[in-house]
Chains A and B, each alone.
Chain A
């Protein structure tokens, strides 16, 4: 069995999808935020791979086709954006102010905490682009001299946390407007957060997709400024 797992291109992905489906079923059945299908799938897959001694590279032989779909799917985020274009235009000021203040808050929070905990310059700039989409974040981290591998890991963790706790955080701060919820998800938790925003509604999803692009670009500009502070 273990030997089969170590050579199979389908076993790992199948486990990922089955555990995702079970997670989705549990969430529907119990409606409890902790049963996040994405989190359950990641945890179950890692446990199975480690237990059967399968390397990530073997798993990725099959799983890379899931990742391959990410670019065309991100391109498709333009569709809800187009469908909600009127709404977006009417609220342009709120959208820009929301995303801009979110990006600055992200950079300031990382700066203050890094300063308090005495992080090195390298570790600090590694974390600066943590709230934005992986591809832009990697570029920023590399440019500033950070550890790109850690940046990628932190970006993924940020996205998953946003996906799991986003609804709770919106409730906590009394964020009820669909536009604002979407902006919060996209600015704080990029595409993984957007996947969640899409489930909440079309307006949330569209605003969240928009935030990924806008937040990414604003971060590219301001991360350089913040990088000089530590």
Chain B
């Protein structure tokens, strides 16, 4: 029953996200609205952590599996991808390196120069 209740709360928040997406004219997906709403509800105490925690952690843990269908979907977009394959591949690979590198290095430089707590000494759940 606990898991059912937790899942119900998560679905209700997803539904509100879907409604917002329908009403607001922005290119923002329902899931992002839902994430922000869930966060605000947790912060304000409208939803308590123990009302969503276990089911939420389970969903996050199996999340990679949910991307399999999108990946397999590449087989049907192969025809449109083929003519631009070379430039697209080059851009995709190089961008991964530049974006990860710049984001990581800039944020790390700022963190280290400020000397605040960085999460290093945390005991991780996994």
Contacts and interface: CB of A to CB of B under 8 A. Distances in A.
A90 B106 CA distance: 16
Interface string B13-56: 11001100000001111111011111100110000010011011
A85 interface: yes
Which of A113, A139, A140 has the most chain B CB within a 10 Å cutoff?
Answer: A113
Contacts of A152: 70, 73, 77
Contact of A179 (B31, B53, B67, B107): B107
A95 B97 CA distance: 19
A146 B111 CA distance: 38
Contacts of A195: 63-64, 67
A159 B74 CA distance: 13
B119 A178 contact: yes
Contact of A109 (B29, B94, B112): B94
A191 interface: yes
Main secondary structure of the interface of A (DSSP, over half): helix
Interface residues of B, number: 84
Main secondary structure of the interface of B (DSSP, over half): helix
A175 B105 contact: yes
A106 B98 contact: yes
Interface residues of A, number: 119
Contact of B107 (A20, A174, A177, A192): A177
B17 A79 contact: no
B80 interface: yes
A212 interface: yes
Interface string A25-40: 0000000000001100
Report the 4 A-B pairs with minimum CB-CB distance, sorted nearest first. Answer: A139-B27, A135-B29, A98-B107, A102-B103
Interface of B: 7, 10-11, 13-14, 17-18, 26-32, 34-39, 42-43, 49, 52-53, 55-57, 59-77, 80-81, 84, 87-88, 90-108, 110-112, 114, 116-120, 122, 124-126
Given A75-B35, A131-B95, 8 more contacts: A16-B72, A38-B67, A71-B30, A93-B114, A140-B27, A169-B100, A172-B97, A202-B125
